[in-house]
């Protein structure tokens, strides 16, 4: 009977070990599944946070692009205005220079006429003085 008792005890040990092994395996599976679920949840949260950061950065870049485009348009308009102003100033300066040239030429011609008339007068006076001698 000792063999029988030994076999029964051994069977009881094997059954207990099998039950504990099954329980351990189930707890280990649950722990692994919990860890995987935690990792997947963390990965999802990280992805969501990265998407929000990327969306925020993209929005900032869009706003900056719009602001830069507006500034470029404003500078181009200012450049066009300054170009027109410079052209107008250049035209005024050319007109003033032409007027000054005309006035100087007229004054030069008047001086030349006056000098020529004075020369004629002096020649006549010299001729009169020569007659008196």
pLDDT tens-digit map of 17-39? 888 888 888 999 999 999 999 99
Instruction: Report the alpha-carbon distance of residue 17 to residue 11 in Å, rounded.
Output: 10
| C-alpha Rg value of the chain to the nearest Å | 56
* CA pair distance 64, 62, nearest whole angstrom: 5
Whole-angstrom distance, CA of residue 15 vs CA of residue 21:
10
Q: What is the pLDDT of residues 40-91, one digit of tens each?
A: 999 999 999 999 999 999 999 999 999 999 999 999 999 998 999 999 999 9
According to the model, what pLDDT value does residue 26 have?
Answer: 92
Overall size of the chain counted in residues: 133
Q: Is the pTM of this model over 0.75?
A: no
């Amino acid at each position: 009977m000792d063999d029988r008792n030994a076999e029964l005890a051994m069977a009881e040990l094997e059954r207990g070990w099998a039950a504990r092994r099954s329980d351990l395996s189930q707890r280990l599976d649950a722990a692994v599944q919990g860890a995987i679920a935690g990792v997947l949840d963390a990965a999802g949260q990280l992805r969501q946070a990265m998407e929000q950061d990327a969306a925020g950065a993209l929005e900032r870049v869009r706003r900056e692009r719009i602001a830069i485009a507006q500034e470029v348009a404003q500078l181009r308009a200012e450049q066009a205005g300054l170009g027109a102003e410079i052209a107008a100033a250049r035209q005024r300066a050319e007109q003033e220079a032409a007027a000054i040239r005309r006035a100087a030429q007229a004054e030069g011609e008047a001086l030349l006429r006056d000098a020529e008339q004075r020369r004629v007068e002096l020649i006549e006076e010299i001729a009169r003085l020569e007659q008196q001698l």
